[in-house]
Chains A and B, each alone.
Chain A
Amino acid sequence: MPISLDSRIPDGDLADKWSNQQANFKLVSPNNKTKYKVIVIGSGLAGASAAATLAEQGYQVDCFSFNDSPRRAHSVAAQGGINAAKNYRNDGDSTYRLFYDTIKGGDFRSREANVYRLAEVSGQIIDHCVAQGIPFARDYAGYLDSRSFGGVQVSRTFYAKGQTGQQLLLGAYGALNRQIHLGKVRMFVRSEMLDVVVDKGVAQGIIVRNLVSGEVSRFNAHAVIIASGGYSNMFYLSTNALSSNVTATYRAYKQGALFANPAFTQIHPTCIPASGEHQSKLTLMSESLRNDGRIWVPAKQGDHRLPADIPHNERDYFLERRYPAFGNLVPRDIASRAVKQVCDKGLGVGPTGHGVYLDLADAIDSSGRDIIEERYGNLFEMYQRITSENPEKTPMRIYPAAHYTMGGLWVDYHLMSNIKGLFVIGEANFSDHGANRLGASALMQGLADGYFIVPSCVSHYLTEQKPQLVDTTSDSFNEIDQSVENRVADLLSIKGQHSADYFHRKLGQLMWDNCGMARSEKGLRKALDEIPKLSEQFWQQLKITGCGKELNFQLEKAGRVADFLEFSQLVCQDALHRSESCGGHFRQESQNAEGEALRNDDDFSYVAAWQFKSGKSNHQPEPATLHKEPLRHEAVAPDQRSYK
Chain B
Amino acid sequence: MANYRVNIWRQDQTEKQGRFEQYRVEDISEDMSFLEMLDVLNEKLISDDLVPVAFDHDCREGICGACGLVINGIPHGKECGTTTCQLYMRHFTADTEITIEPFRAQAFPLIKDLMVDRSSLDRVLQSGGYVSVHTGAAADANNVLIAKHKADDAFTAATCIGCGACVAVCRNASGMLFVAAKTSQLALLPQGQPERLERSLSMVKQMQDEGFGNCSNHYECEAACPKNIPASYIAQLNRDFLNASMTSKEYESQTHCKSLEE
Given contact pairs A280-B60, A281-B60, A86 touches B49 in the complex (Cβ within 8 A): no
Q: Does chain A have a CB within 8 A of B29?
A: yes
Q: Does chain A have a CB within 8 A of B75?
A: no
Given contact pairs A133-B192, A142-B145, A279 touches B36 in the complex (Cβ within 8 A): yes
Interface string of B134-146 (1 = CB under 8 A from A): 1111111110111
Q: Does chain A have a CB within 8 A of B62?
A: yes
**Which chain A residues (40-78) contact chain B, with CB distance < 8 Å?**
49, 52-53, 56, 67-72, 74, 76-77
**B153-161, B211-219, B231-239, B249-257 - the one binding chain A:** B153-161
Would A545 and B51 count as touching, CB distance under 8 A? Answer: yes
Would B54 and A241 count as touching, CB distance under 8 A? Answer: no
Q: Does chain B have a CB within 8 A of A181?
A: yes
Please give, as numbers and ranges, the residues of chain B lying within 8 Å of A180 by CB-CB distance. Answer: 126
Q: Does chain B have a CB within 8 A of A191?
A: no
Interface string of A407-435 (1 = CB under 8 A from B): 00000000000000000000000000000
Q: Does chain B have a CB within 8 A of A382?
A: yes
Given contact pairs A74-B58, A132-B130, A132-B191, A545 touches B140 in the complex (Cβ within 8 A): no
From B65, B133, B140, B189, name the one whose CB has the most chain A CB atoms within 10 angstroms. B133
Please give, as numbers and ranges, the residues of chain B lying within 8 Å of A283 by CB-CB distance. Answer: 60-61
Name the CB-closest residue of B to A170. Answer: B158
Would A69 and B162 count as touching, CB distance under 8 A? Answer: yes
Would B148 and A56 count as touching, CB distance under 8 A? Answer: no
Name the CB-closest residue of A to B50. Answer: A545
Name the CB-closest residue of A to B151. Answer: A138
Complex Cα spacing A127 to B141, Å:
4
> How far apart are A79's CB and chain B's nearest CB, in angstroms?
9
Given contact pairs A130-B191, A142-B147, A280-B60, A167 touches B158 in the complex (Cβ within 8 A): yes
Given contact pairs A174-B130, A551-B54, A499 touches B135 in the complex (Cβ within 8 A): no
Please give, as numbers and ranges, the residues of chain B lying within 8 Å of A124 by CB-CB distance. Answer: 136, 138
Q: Does chain B have a CB within 8 A of A157?
A: no
**Which chain A residues (267-310) contact chain B, with CB distance < 8 Å?**
275-276, 278-281, 283-284
> How far apart are B73's CB and chain A's nearest CB, in angstroms?
21
Would A278 and B40 count as touching, CB distance under 8 A? Answer: yes
Can you name 16 A-B residue pairings with CB atoms under 8 Å?
A: A69-B118, A70-B122, A76-B63, A127-B139, A130-B138, A133-B191, A134-B158, A135-B155, A135-B158, A137-B155, A141-B145, A280-B33, A381-B81, A455-B135, A499-B46, A553-B54
Given contact pairs A132-B131, A280-B33, A545-B49, A68 touches B185 in the complex (Cβ within 8 A): no
> How far apart are B111's CB and chain A's nearest CB, in angstroms?
6
Q: Does chain A have a CB within 8 A of B125?
A: yes
Number of chain B residues close to chain A: CB under 8 A: 79
Please give, as numbers and ranges, the residues of chain A lying within 8 Å of B86 by CB-CB distance. Answer: 382, 385-386
Would B138 and A136 count as touching, CB distance under 8 A? Answer: no
Would B119 and A243 count as touching, CB distance under 8 A? Answer: no
Please give, as numbers and ranges, the residues of chain B lying within 8 Å of A137 by CB-CB distance. Answer: 151, 155
Given contact pairs A131-B191, A142-B145, A385-B86, A499 touches B162 in the complex (Cβ within 8 A): no
Would B63 and A77 count as touching, CB distance under 8 A? Answer: yes
Residues of B within 8 A of A (CB): 12-13, 29, 31-33, 35-36, 39-40, 43, 45-47, 49-52, 54, 56-66, 81-82, 86, 88, 90, 111-112, 115, 117-119, 121-122, 125-142, 144-148, 151-152, 154-155, 158-159, 161-162, 185-186, 189, 191-192
> How far apart are B36's CB and chain A's nearest CB, in angstroms?
5
| Contact among A189, A276, A452, A497 for B119, CB-based, below 8 A | A189
Please give, as numbers and ranges, the residues of chain A lying within 8 Å of B135 by CB-CB distance. Answer: 49, 52-53, 56, 128, 175, 451-452, 455
Q: How many interface contacts (CB-CB < 8 Å) are there between A and B?
A: 218
Please give, as numbers and ranges, the residues of chain B lying within 8 Å of A451 by CB-CB distance. Answer: 135
Closest 5 CB pairs of A and B: A174-B130, A142-B145, A131-B138, A135-B155, A127-B138
- The number of chain A residues touching the other chain, given as a range, is 35 or more
Please give, as numbers and ranges, the residues of chain B lying within 8 Å of A133 by CB-CB distance. Answer: 130-131, 154, 185-186, 189, 191-192
Given contact pairs A128-B138, A189-B119, A242 touches B60 in the complex (Cβ within 8 A): yes
Would B39 and A280 count as touching, CB distance under 8 A? Answer: yes
Which secondary structure dominates chain B's binding surface? loop
> How far apart are B187's CB and chain A's nearest CB, in angstroms?
10
From B36, B66, B141, B192, name the one whose CB has the most chain A CB atoms within 10 angstroms. B141
**Which chain A residues (129-175) contact chain B, with CB distance < 8 Å?**
129-144, 160-161, 163, 165-167, 170, 173-175
Complex Cα spacing A263 to B118, Å:
38
Would A543 and B61 count as touching, CB distance under 8 A? Answer: no
| Contact among A140, A161, A175, A545 for B155, CB-based, below 8 A | A161
Q: Does chain B have a CB within 8 A of A546?
A: yes
Please give, as numbers and ranges, the residues of chain B lying within 8 Å of A163 by CB-CB distance. Answer: 63, 159
Please give, as numbers and ranges, the residues of chain A lying within 8 Å of B45 by CB-CB distance. Answer: 545
| Contact among B13, B117, B186 for A68, CB-based, below 8 A | B117
Q: Does chain B have a CB within 8 A of A501?
A: yes
| Contact among B58, B82, B140, B159 for A241, CB-based, below 8 A | B58
**Which chain A residues (114-129) contact chain B, with CB distance < 8 Å?**
123-124, 126-129
From B60, B64, B142, name the one whose CB has the most chain A CB atoms within 10 angstroms. B64
Name the CB-closest residue of A to B146. Answer: A142
Please give, as numbers and ranges, the residues of chain A lying within 8 Å of B129 by CB-CB distance. Answer: 174, 177
Would A167 and B155 count as touching, CB distance under 8 A? Answer: yes
Q: Does chain B have a CB within 8 A of A489?
A: no
Complex Cα spacing A69 to B178, Å:
15
Please give, as numbers and ranges, the residues of chain A lying within 8 Å of B118 by CB-CB distance. Answer: 68-69
Complex Cα spacing A175 to B60, Å:
26
Name the CB-closest residue of B to A388. Answer: B90
Complex Cα spacing A117 to B13, Å:
50
Q: Does chain B have a CB within 8 A of A212?
A: yes
Name the CB-closest residue of B to A126. Answer: B141
